[in-house]
């Protein structure tokens, strides 16, 4: 199945959007993580959802892929703009309300939309993410990233993490290698498919105007703004929480907190998954759960 590409406008940004399946089917908007392009939602994964009767929408966030780019370390947008962009994508493809499937940073965006614009949300799927708003006194302290992440990012260039040593993002081979090794560091205990990740990273590199901007700006924009006064208990959308049992950035307790605080939410642990887009060995599990959650086959 070949995706259909279009561009939509959001405030000062031009966003690249791709869709799979029939516009008449229930829509699933895929909200990706920081420093990644729409390519990380793999074609076959999207096609399987579409073949099962879903209108699948993925897009490049600002600084990613074919969307508007800012200078590195100087994003011309805020975290609020990233949230507004998701709504603009829905408007651009003519969808009033969608199932929002948010991963990592995209999971935070999905939570914000569910709290501030509940009429746009048919349901939530939150994967590899953490509460985006403060918790009450009953929320236990959430565990920090695993020490192995700090160790990986302290490694020198000829070890496991080229990005930590100052990658030249204009050098295609170095940049692709750095992306692969960064994804390896965030992976769980399932076998890591370096060849497939290299293909994804190469496609992302070839579609992105400024790789240095992609690697820096999302982190800067997503961390701005005042703490929200909203709470997860205010989310009314049916919610499915998918979380890797071996997530080194947001250990499983982060997913457990989401499931405990969002009314009626259901947690499905992903055995061996890390902080990553759905790994292929778990596609049957993930796709089955997403289809059941968004209306069945």
Say whether 247 is catalytic.
yes
Q: Output the pLDDT for position 285.
A: 98
pLDDT band at 161, cuts 50/70/90?
Answer: very low
* Average pLDDT, rounded, for the chain: 93
Residue in 104, 123, 128, 130 annotated catalytic: 104
Q: Output the pLDDT for position 121.
A: 98
Say whether 67 is catalytic.
no
Q: Output the pLDDT for position 133.
A: 95
DSSP 123: E
Measured CA to CA, the distance from residue 42 to residue 188 in angstroms comes to: 18
Specify which residues 135 forms β-bridges with.
Answer: none
pLDDT band at 93, cuts 50/70/90?
Answer: very high
Residue in 10, 247, 254, 293 annotated catalytic: 247
pLDDT band at 127, cuts 50/70/90?
Answer: very high
Q: Output the pLDDT for position 225.
A: 65
Measured CA to CA, the distance from residue 11 to residue 50 in angstroms comes to: 29
Half-sphere exposure of 135 (CA within 13 A, CB side): 16
Residue 61 has pLDDT above 50, yes or no: yes
* Residue 160 Cα distances to 153, 180, 186, 260, angstroms: 8, 10, 12, 36
Question: CB neighbours (10 Å) of residue 187?
Answer: 23
Q: Output the pLDDT for position 159.
A: 35
Residue 250 has pLDDT above 50, yes or no: yes
Q: Structure pTM?
A: 0.95
The share of the chain scoring above pLDDT 90, in percent, equals 88
DSSP 239: E
- Contact present, 241 and 266 (Cβ < 8 Å): yes
Q: How are strands ordered across the β-sheet holding 266-270? A: 4-10, 13-20, 55-59, 27-31, 98-103, 121-127, 239-244, 266-270
Say whether 73 is catalytic.
no
pLDDT band at 222, cuts 50/70/90?
Answer: confident
Q: Where are the domains of the chain?
A: 4-143+210-293
pLDDT 10s digits, 170-202:
999 999 999 999 999 999 999 999 999 999 999
Q: Output the pLDDT for position 137.
A: 87
Q: Output the pLDDT for position 35.
A: 96
Residue in 55, 218, 243, 275 annotated catalytic: 275
Statement: 4-143+210-293 belongs to CATH 3.30.365.10: no
Mean pLDDT of 262-274: 98
């Amino acid at each position: 199945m070949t995706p259909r590409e279009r561009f939509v406008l959001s405030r000062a940004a031009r966003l690249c959007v791709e869709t799979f399946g029939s516009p008449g089917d229930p829509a699933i908007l895929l909200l990706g993580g920081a420093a990644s392009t729409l390519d990380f939602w793999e074609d076959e994964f999207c096609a399987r959802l579409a073949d099962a009767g879903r209108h699948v929408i993925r897009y490049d966030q600002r600084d990613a892929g074919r969307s508007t780019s800012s200078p590195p370390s100087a994003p011309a947008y805020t975290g609020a703009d990233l949230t507004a962009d998701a709504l603009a994508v829905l408007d651009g493809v003519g969808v009033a309300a969608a199932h929002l499937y948010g991963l990592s940073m995209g999971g935070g965006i999905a939570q914000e939309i569910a709290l501030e614009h509940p009429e746009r949300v048919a349901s939530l799927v939150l994967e590899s993410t953490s509460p985006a708003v403060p918790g009450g006194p009953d929320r236990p302290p959430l565990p920090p990233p695993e020490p192995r992440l700090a160790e990986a990012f302290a490694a020198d260039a000829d070890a496991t993490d080229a990005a930590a040593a100052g990658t030249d993002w204009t050098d295609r081979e170095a940049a692709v290698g750095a992306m692969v090794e960064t994804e390896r560091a965030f992976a769980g205990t399932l076998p890591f498919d370096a060849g497939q990740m290299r293909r994804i990273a190469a496609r992302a590199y070839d579609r992105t105007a400024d790789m240095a901007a992609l690697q820096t700006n999302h982190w800067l924009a997503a961390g701005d703004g005042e703490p929200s006064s909203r709470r997860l208990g205010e989310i009314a959308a049916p919610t499915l929480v998918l979380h890797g049992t071996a997530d080194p950035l947001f250990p499983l307790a982060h997913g457990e907190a989401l499931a405990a605080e969002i009314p009626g939410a259901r947690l499905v642990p992903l055995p061996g998954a890390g902080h990553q887009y759905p790994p292929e060995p778990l596609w049957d599990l993930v796709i089955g759960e997403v289809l059941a959650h968004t209306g069945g086959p």
